[in-house]
Amino acid sequence: MNDKGYVMSLTSFLLILPAFLLVIILMNMSISQTGNQESILISDDVLSVAKDLETQLAQTGMEVVKHKSDEVIESGNPLSNSRKEIKDEIQNIMDIWCLRYDQDGIRAHCDVLYADNSQDPFQIEIKSIINVQKGKVKHMVTLSQNISLINESFPIMDPLPFLKCKEYGSVTIGKNKTLYGSSLSEYLESRGFNNSQAYENATSPLFIKKCPYSPYEIHGSAHDFVNFKNCIVNGFYHESNDGACFFCRLEGHGACPHYGMETFILPAPSVNLTSFNNSSEVVTSSLDHVIFDETSFGTYSGHLLVYFQDGTHYFYLFLDDSHRKKYGLPLIE
């Protein structure tokens, strides 16, 4: 090889070297990009599972609440610790649900911390921690979800009447109504109330539904008690400092220390009101927490209030002054 040939080979090598280095750099970039894309896909999988579990928790919460209410009504037995029993059932369902991700190499766990009252008595709060991991990618989120007690897909029945009256006769389910027959009258009579017959064949709402009339004073503001009548016909519930919360209703408590709800228990329509047309005739007030709270039984005495006539029957209930004021209705004279 002559000197000229040697110089040409070195020159060629120097020309090729940058191209070789560029190829190496591009390969590294490609490998790095592939790794980043794979990491992004794994991260997306993890976040998708976490979101899926969050959605499933809310769905499971509604299903469990309905199931527990149905279970109590069917058995006639109250729950001993409704918060724990609801929490444990949600946990069991979520444990099974999390196993479905194992086949995709994803480890998922949902730890349900508690089920308790929300600030809104028509909701319950579920607190939980979700952990999801795939490979080295991990995601953890702490959730506080409010589960509504009002859902058309999962209408929830009020278990309280069935628990309170189970020893006094048959309480049956009608179309959107709880039908007491003679059970409520006998329940009241057993507690020494003289006018217990006023609640013979009484009814109350079956499903928990929140009243849309707000503020509550407008119940009595419309002509001929139209708002009040519509509220009763639709079987609405109202927020109440004295009424039992949903958890305590499952345990058979007519009242509790929590912020709860109340609804009206309605005497059967009558063709005449001879027995109760005297304003001095006292009957226990027609609020469920008044009737079912045995610790303060008889402290709310109600007087007759006719809210509708259909030409043959009177539709009425008995209300004390404090509840008349709450709903904007005429006070007792």
Q: Check residue 32 and give its pLDDT.
A: 45
Q: How far apart are CA 311 and CA 123, in angstroms?
A: 40
Are 285 and 312 in contact by the 8 Å Cβ rule? The answer is no
Q: Check residue 133 and give its pLDDT.
A: 92
Eight-class DSSP state of 3: H
Q: Check residue 211 and give its pLDDT.
A: 98
CB atoms within 10 A of CB 161: 29
DSSP letters for 72-110? HHHH----SSHHHHHHHHHHHHHHHHHGGGGGGT-EEEE
Q: Check residue 121 and give its pLDDT.
A: 98
- Note the pLDDT tens digit of each residue in 262-287: 999 999 999 988 766 554 557 899 99
Q: Check residue 288 and give its pLDDT.
A: 96
3-state DSSP assignment of residue 294: helix
Q: How far apart are CA 149 and CA 126, in angstroms?
A: 13
Nearest to 83 by CA among 266, 250, 273, 279: 250
Q: Which residue has tokens 């009241």? A: 188
Amino acid identity of residue 63, one-letter, is E
Per-residue confidence in pLDDT tens, the chain, 333 aa: 545 444 456 565 555 656 555 555 555 554 444 444 545 546 778 899 999 999 999 999 999 999 999 999 999 999 999 999 999 999 999 999 999 999 888 999 999 999 999 999 999 999 999 999 998 888 999 999 999 999 888 899 999 999 999 999 889 999 899 999 999 999 999 988 878 999 999 999 999 999 999 999 999 988 889 999 999 999 999 999 999 999 999 999 999 999 999 999 999 999 988 766 554 557 899 999 999 987 765 568 889 999 999 989 999 999 999 999 999 999 987
- Note the pLDDT tens digit of each residue in 50-74: 999 999 999 999 999 999 999 999 9
Q: Check residue 281 and give its pLDDT.
A: 59
Q: Check residue 34 and give its pLDDT.
A: 44
Q: Check residue 193 and give its pLDDT.
A: 81
Q: How far apart are CA 44 and CA 42, in angstroms?
A: 5
- Note the pLDDT tens digit of each residue in 125-160: 999 999 999 988 889 999 999 999 998 888 999 999
Domain borders along the chain are 51-148, 160-326
Contacts of 303 (CB under 8 A, 6+ apart): 279, 281, 282, 283, 318, 319, 320, 332
Q: Check residue 20 and give its pLDDT.
A: 58
